[in-house]
Amino acid sequence: VEACLQAGKWVPEAEHEAGEGPQRSRINRCSLLPPLFDGCFFFLLGSFKAPTKDELTKLLREGGGQLLHRQPKPDSDVTQTVCAAAYHALLGSDQAFCTQYIIFDPQGPHKPAVVRRGKVWSAPTTWVIDCIAAFSLLPVPDLEVLV
């Protein structure tokens, strides 16, 4: 915005974008490929300040993610046999197998137990934002440090 105001006209955004995520997103969309969170399911645990729960819901849905109304049970045979696959997960990465995420606000009052079992992992909201910024399903950070 500042560059546009200084130039007195519209300036292409590409010169001012942070990282490669926005360009990857445009290429993905032009190639008619699935959105970033295609094949991923999310349960929002607790309260959220920034982003708010509504903002996070919108980001996840716009990114092709599906919201769960119940917290997934990592030890459930039903949960572990779900055949969904995250389209944008790198082969051989943890996210290639994990499709269900319990999302929490690391700055919020609710500190969930760390879950990293099979297809169910807990992840902070910062992970969601970082994935969007990079347009990539990034590795989930070590939650022992966050919780």
pTM for the whole thing?
0.84
pLDDT in the model for residue 61: 97
pLDDT in the model for residue 97: 85
Long-range own/partner contacts, residues 94-99 (CB < 8 A, 24 or more apart): 94/121, 94/139, 94/140, 95/137, 95/138, 95/139, 95/140, 98/140, 99/39, 99/40, 99/41
Mean pLDDT across 66-89: 85
For residue 100, list its beta bridge partners. Answer: 41, 120
- Which of the listed CATH numbers 3.30.60.50, 3.40.50.10190, 3.90.470.20, 3.40.50.720 matches domain 36-146? 3.40.50.10190
Name the residue ranges covered by the structural domains of the chain: 1-33, 36-146
For the stretch 12-65, pLDDT in tens is 877 777 778 888 888 898 999 999 999 999 999 999 998 999 999 999 999 999
List for the chain the helix, strand, coil content (%; round to 5).
35, 10, 55
pLDDT band at 143 (very low <50, low <70, confident <90, very high): low
Distance CA 12, CA 120 (A): 40
User: For 4-13, 98-107, 124-133, which range has the lowest pLDDT when averaged over its residues?
Assistant: 4-13
Residue 3 pLDDT exceeds 60: yes
